[in-house]
Chains A and B, each alone.
Chain A
Amino acid sequence: MIEIDTVSKLFGAGDSAFRALDRVSVTIKENEFFTLLGPSGCGKTTLLRLIAGFEGPTSGKILLDGQDLADKPPYRRPVNTVFQSYALFPHMTVAENVGFGLTMLGKPKSEVAATVSEMLALVRMTNLADRKTSQISGGQQQRVALARALAPRPKVLLLDEPLSALDFKLRKEMQLELKRLQSETGITFVFVTHDQEEALTMSDRIAVMSGGTIRQIGGPREIYDQPSERFVADFIGDTNFLSAEMIARTGDSAQLRLGQGAEVTARAGQVDKTSGAVTLAIRPEHARLVALDAGQLTGTLDDIVYFGTDTHYHITLDGIGTRFVLRRQNSPDEMRPVQQGERVGIALASSAGQVLKD
């Protein structure tokens, strides 16, 4: 439904121009909760602003339902934005803010009033309708911004880090609320965040961005389990990176020899190599502590960090010196107690690893 076709955006001109987006292509489907995830400065806001029409692409096209948006100013696009700073109108009440879009579209007063109360009910703000926006809390402002952007029933709702200013508990609450609103309204959400956990829990699909490019697009599970490259694996969750030698390859399955000599199988993913040196990514929860000679790797236990629900074991691998982190969920049936400084074995779950693109 939204097609972003090799879009680039340069700020400035000539040699000093800064390339904020570099040939970005992605198709966002109808009724999808789509997330742009990436570190600060990677171009997420820029991409949203191009879709909203506040800025034009330097090259490339943006289509909505097959129609080129190039000559449409923001007020002619059926797209609304929830701004990072909320951008509520300080000289209007909550209800006037929510009704602004419909009023500008020339809807009759009765229809505006009806939609406003419907929207305020949707975000549970009915009792504060007549307050000034400066007289409500941050979480409430967030809801008003949401109601204001949803009221005109846009085809696409753009949300720029809408939860980043909220405290932890409120953020969790609003995450569920956003999911509910998206499924109730059936509007396509394009959601921007730099919080990988938020992206994983909320999205139908995620585009991981870095340095103005999209590095990987996929469902949360795919992004987490099968990161295509080191940046994605590193940015999303914790990952151990091991150097390995590919010795055989059949389709998606690769046979690797690790630095300490053991052989493992791993998913080859999008790597086209059939031999040679590669990097293997292994999630901390995909390895177990075992007796010294019972695993594929051995090392010395440096640190044991207790996290409540689970415990992290930091191990320096014998011979290679690489740090390996292993995570184990705490349970009442405790395993054999291990001590700092002890030498241990590490067993990797079969086919748990992912070979990364260089």
Chain B
Amino acid sequence: MKFAFFKGCKIPYYLEQYGSSTRAVLKTFGVRLLELDFCCCGYPNRDLHFESFVLSAARNMALAEKKNLDILTPCKCCYGSLKHAFHFLHENERLRRDINAELAKEGLVWKGKSTVKHLLTVLCDDIGLPAIYASIVKPLGGLSVAAHYGCHALRPSNIVHFDDPLAPSIFEDLISATGAKPVGWPRRLDCCGNPLWGKNNAISLALMRTKIADAYESGADCICTACTYCQLQFDAIQSSVKTDNAASPELPSILYTQLLGLSMGLPERLLGIKRNIIPVEKLKIV
């Protein structure tokens, strides 16, 4: 199995451990990842200018197409962005023509041949749960985990095709495989607040804190994410605004690839466990 690995803009500087842990985990399943000359997925700019968002996304998909590869991304915002652009290019012929004219200047063309997949889908469907179960050497029994789904992979379902948008189960299925126990929590499908970070921090934090309080009250030991932005929100940002307020407890957040990697017995260094700002050591799984 081989994919074009679309890391997105934030991993190299802000979340290296997501890149390294994804590589480490996928490598053990024989998945090969190729990094192309990708640019931004377009998501951050969709707020301001539709066409430049589509061009950015189309360029990435065209690069993968040229290499005959499907795209794998660990980031849900990148995933959503690429899927949306796919949809717009697919349904709007004039847009497709104009974007392709622009891409042609670089010798690229978007035909819609490459599929965009999120890491979790590849793990669950392409690699398959049985293989994942078989790879576990250190089951994380006793750990209660709140699966945070992430909006942009889940909705709008008719465009992103990720899982049932109202009752998804893919993340819990994958967490169960590690031996940890996924907890039910009312806010599991809600936004982490990161899209508003830097734009309206008060709302961004309010959304984050509501989720954390809910996960905490539902008995979770930690939150588990599979998205660059969500993890940044629950780790770096949560820790940067730490208060001593007992009403807003601190909950560590772990990347799914770290959780899986630990249960597979992969070395901590590859998983970048120490790079998490809110230490996950106290979960006693390390």
Q: Do A and B bind each other?
A: no
